[in-house]
Homo-oligomer: A and B are copies of this chain.
Amino acid sequence: MIDCDVHNQWPSAEVLLPFVEPPFRDYLARGELPGPPGAFPHGHRPWLHPEGFKRSDVLAPEEGDTNDHYEALRTQLLDRYGLDYAVLTGEEAIEVSTLANGRYASALARAYNDWLVAEWLPRDDRLRGSLVVAPQDPEGAAVEIRRLGGHPGMVQVLVSTGSERPYGDPFYAPIWDAAAEVGLPVAAHLGGQGGINANPTGCGPPTFFWEAHALFIETGMGHVASVIAHGIFERYPGMRFVLIECGVAWLPALLWRLDADYKALRKETPWLKRLPSEYARDHIRLSTQPFEQPEEKGHLLAALEAMHGREVLLFASDYPHWDFDDPMTIDVPEEWRDAVFDENARTLYRLPGVTDLARAATA
């Protein structure tokens, strides 16, 4: 079993200090912070969660070694559920996308990546990393992807779904070029709703957190349409785009609209050779969390079938956040379980198969 959205936390963003190069070390050590010392610099969402984001049973700073979030993750997730792999997605690192100063944002992303490589990946063979970049600095992001994209522990490039523009936009071409060159998929994780990024919904700012949270999928919908329309998958036939923490059930309705509108007006995008839904099936992957739970399971099942869920879905728990999905509660068809809980991620991220692992153990 592979969990595709596990948040490796820090006790304080000050852990990044040794990894931030000058002059940006001064920004973090002495400069303005959006909170007390240890806060991570980002333009915070104006929609504030009234209960906080973390599960209450997750290691609190006062409980012993404040640096050891890994131990909590190991016992509460890796060992408890017998995971083969956990794909780490950072905690606030993707929020670098909200900063106006793209160079500082890239410096923070580099520091996070180096901290991940130094402090997390060596601790457990089951951990894999996501290479965080600052999308508002496409050239800087491309340099970072080429610098560290070949690291054997890194399995994807990671940005927030909150963005200035949809990710198919030519503005981001350097990121796609670099990701294709190093052979990594590009993933967007729900987040980055603030700062320089676009309002995350289509009719102005919602008011309440639960209202806003339900609507944050609109950020993901726009990226799906954009990467397809701009021909990312014609330009890079091996590319995959992964959406993390956006839920799944909205995808078919969007693809039906995209197919209908494309059929009527395909002359706008002559580089496309297939229907939007066909690109989605082969090139877009969605992590399952937060998995929808309607009263009538059949209604969800129809949506899962319509999106070819057996091929498209990747199990994710979102550990240790408030809306954590227990793998025991994800209700996909029995004959899909191996694909959704393991094989799709293993293929996407080129993780050794069970057979390979057994061979390595006896080598």
Interface residues of A (CB under 8 A from B): 49-51, 161-169, 197-211, 213-223, 225-226, 228-230, 247, 249-250, 252-254, 256-258, 260-262, 264-269, 290, 292-294, 296, 298-303, 305-306, 322-323
Q: Would you call A267 and B50 a contact (CB within 8 A)?
A: yes
Contact A204 to B198, CB < 8 A, known contacts A249-B252, A252-B299, A257-B247: yes
**What residues of B have a CB within 8 angstroms of the CB of A50 in the complex?**
265, 267-268
**What residues of B have a CB within 8 angstroms of the CB of A264 in the complex?**
210, 322-323
**9 interchain residue pairs of minimum CB distance:** A202-B218, A302-B302, A249-B253, A210-B261, A165-B204, A214-B257, A203-B222, A299-B306, A250-B253
Contact A215 to B225, CB < 8 A, known contacts A249-B252, A299-B306: yes
In whole angstroms, how far apart are the Cα atoms of A230 and B215 in the complex? 15
Q: Would you call A250 and B261 a contact (CB within 8 A)?
A: no
Q: List 23 A-B contacts (CB under 8 A).
A: A50-B265, A165-B205, A166-B204, A166-B205, A202-B217, A202-B221, A202-B222, A206-B225, A207-B230, A208-B268, A210-B265, A211-B228, A211-B261, A213-B261, A214-B257, A214-B258, A215-B221, A250-B253, A252-B294, A252-B303, A253-B303, A260-B292, A298-B302
Q: Would you call B217 and A204 a contact (CB within 8 A)?
A: no
**What residues of B have a CB within 8 angstroms of the CB of A296 in the complex?**
305-306
The 8 Å CB contact of A216, one of B202, B252, B292, is B202
Q: Would you call B230 and A164 a contact (CB within 8 A)?
A: no
The 8 Å CB contact of A223, one of B163, B203, B252, B293, is B203
- In the complex, the count of this chain's copies comes to 2
Q: Would you call B268 and A209 a contact (CB within 8 A)?
A: yes
- In the assembled complex, how far is the CB of residue A274 from the closest CB belonging to chain B, in whole angstroms? 14
**What residues of B have a CB within 8 angstroms of the CB of A254 in the complex?**
214-215, 250
Known: A169-B207, A198-B202. 6 other contacts (CB 8 A): A163-B203, A165-B205, A211-B229, A211-B258, A213-B257, A252-B303
In whole angstroms, how far apart are the Cα atoms of A47 and B4 in the complex? 36
